[in-house]
Amino acid sequence: MKNVFLITPSSLIRKKRDFSGGTQSLFKLGFNVLNPEFPTALSSPQEKAAQIHRAFSDPDVEMILAQRGGYGAMKSLPFIDFDLIREHPRFFAGFSDVSALLNPIFERTGLVTFHAPMVKNLSAPTPFTLKSFLNAVSGFPEKNLFKGAPVKVFHPGIARGILKGGNLMTLSALMGTDWEIDTEHSILFLEDVDEKSHSVDRCLTQWILAGKFRDVQAILLGDFRGIRSRQVYEMIASQMEIKFPVVSCSYIGHGDNKMTLPVGALVELDTDRKRLFIQEMSLPGGIP
């Protein structure tokens, strides 16, 4: 049984039934939630960092799972002890606003983190979401991350790189800070939800002007609920020459079906086979 410690790095879950449903799903899947109490008070950035430290330090904890996204995870970054995390590797999972932690943790510690459904999302998960999540927890016996997911090819090719990425708005907010994502030699995935097209266009333009797409090996466009993936691709293609593979997969992001992705794994994208394959990855403690 996996011992899970729940953290609240971003916003609170508003409805207790969403929290209870998520924890009950974890119990049914064979996980032991070490702190199943419903949180009702939002912590300060320092307190959020302390909660993360507690989770990584506790020898009984095997998995650290965010309760939900929202806003505020990046505020805890200056207070996080990355040396402590490096010395006590754990399965660390979340997505959306938690992208602000997934990428800096990998880049500063070498610990692979997981862009994965959170407690709120596990309240009523789809079969694909559960299968992908359990595949990750089991050490990725299925190494083709795209298996069973819809994939559209916008620019063909084969590429190898370090898998990084997450929520576009969140990662854009880190630009110009000490925690800005390093996209060199990466296979970069981006997603967002309910943003206006001009806001997404503005952020992508910022990435292009900052040279963040110059040395990527490939781009994976996830779900941009409210904006077609073809439109997002054209926002990029209209401003730069695309010399790398680009695909879209709606199972990356805020949709009902959620793919669990290992941030920091060496992967290969093959657009002909519509395959995203893990080639090399050092798993954190507690994973077979």
For the segment 218-229, the average pLDDT, to the nearest whole number, is: 97
Given CATH 3.30.300.20, say whether it is the number of domain 2-137: no
The whole-chain average pLDDT of the chain stands at: 96
* pLDDT of the residue at 285: 65
Question: Are 30 and 2 contacting, i.e. CB atoms less than 8 angstroms apart?
Answer: yes
As a whole number of angstroms, the distance between CA 112 and CA 89 comes to 9
Question: Are 184 and 152 contacting, i.e. CB atoms less than 8 angstroms apart?
Answer: no
pLDDT tens by residue, 231-241: 999 999 999 99
Question: Are 158 and 268 contacting, i.e. CB atoms less than 8 angstroms apart?
Answer: yes
The reply to whether 2-137 and 152-280 are identical in fold is no
pLDDT tens by residue, 118-158: 999 999 999 999 999 999 999 999 999 999 999 999 999 99
Q: pLDDT-based confidence at 286, cuts 50/70/90?
A: low
Question: Are 112 and 265 contacting, i.e. CB atoms less than 8 angstroms apart?
Answer: yes
Given CATH 3.50.30.60, say whether it is the number of domain 152-280: yes
Residue 4 neighbours by CB under 8 Å, 6+ apart = 26, 31, 32, 33, 34, 61, 62, 63, 64, 65
pLDDT tens by residue, 159-211: 999 999 999 999 999 999 999 999 999 999 999 999 999 999 999 999 999 99
* pLDDT of the residue at 284: 82
Please give the positions annotated as active site.
96, 191, 254
As a whole number of angstroms, the distance between CA 93 and CA 90 comes to 9
* pTM score, whole prediction: 0.96
pLDDT tens by residue, 50-96: 999 999 999 999 999 999 999 999 999 999 999 999 999 999 999 99
* pLDDT of the residue at 1: 53
Side-chain-facing half-sphere of 143: CA atoms under 13 Å: 10
Domain boundaries, the chain: 2-137, 152-280
Decide: residue 56, CB within 10 A, 0-12 exposed, 13-18 middle, 19+ buried.
buried
* pLDDT of the residue at 171: 98
Closest CA to 119 of 50, 200, 21: 21
